[in-house]
Amino acid sequence: MSHSFHPPQRILMGPGPSDVSARVLGALGRPTIGHLDPLFIELMDDTKQLLQYAFKTQNELTIPLSAPGSAGMEAAFVNLVSPGDTVIVCQNGVFGGRMKENVERCGAHAVMVQDRWGDPVDPQKVEEAFAAHPEANLLAFVHAETSTGVRSDAKTLCELAQRHDALTIVDTVTSLGGIDLCVDDWGADAVYSGTQKCLSCVPGLSPMTFSRKAVARIQNRGD
């Protein structure tokens, strides 16, 4: 005979999932409404505006993807990377490696910029990678590497990409809501996160935002 599951109260001190606030848990217990209900549309618009506030962006395409952060990563890559592209990928932990896998699944070439796990991404190495591969049209990096906790200089890395006419894919799974993240000021193009880290929400959603340049590439890709 099956029994109802009653999870114990835990204090979660890992990199995620984090403790869910009582306010969020209370909201989960409210009545369900249909996706065609006018109130649902109103809630969806409110959620978009709040995500824009959290990301510090005015990007029109700012949404919560109905999937965890790993699917947010995949959504960014499969929409922006075309077969044959050259993508510079920074790896200083586990999730830079997952970025490389996504690039290769898209049929593109990953140029790896490697740093020791626990060290931030070295912008000079990124500059050298662009010099060696002027055809690169994307730079991908993790803002705060979940596996080590180290923060890289996202502002500088985005500026480097802009100087080389490349777009950026930025993993902010463990930085959104926890440290400074200024999507518009930094010029980041495709940014994804997760709800179960600094936002103290339940797992299963991936907030995402795409710049106008990123949207234009998606709309104009020929493959």
Q: Which fold has domain 64-220?
A: Aspartate Aminotransferase; domain 2 (3.40.640)
* Distance between CA atoms of residues 116 and 119, nearest Å: 5
Least confident stretch, 21-35, 124-138, 175-189: 21-35
- Residue range 12-26, pLDDT digits in tens: 988 889 999 889 999
pLDDT in tens, 148-171: 999 999 999 999 999 999 999 999
Lowest mean pLDDT among 17-21, 129-133, 176-180, 203-207: 17-21
Cβ distance 12 to 200 under 8 Å? no
**Domain segments of the chain as ranges:** 64-220
- Give the pLDDT band (50/70/90) at residue 1: low
Question: Considering the entire predicted model, what is its pTM?
Answer: 0.94
Amino acid 13: pLDDT: 85
User: How confident is the model at residue 89, as a pLDDT?
Assistant: 98
The three-state secondary structure class of 55 is helix
**Alpha-carbon distance values, 97 to 63, 142, 212 (Å):** 25, 10, 27
| pLDDT > 90? residue 56 | yes
- The C-alpha atoms of residue 149 and residue 143 are separated, in whole angstroms, by 10
Is the Cα dihedral 157, 159, 165, 170 positive or negative?
positive
Buried b (16+ CB within 10 A) or exposed e, 31-45: eeeeeeeeeeeeeee
Radius of gyration of the chain (CA): 18
Reported as a single tens digit per residue, the pLDDT across 92-107 is: 999 999 999 999 999 9
140 forms beta bridges with 89, 169
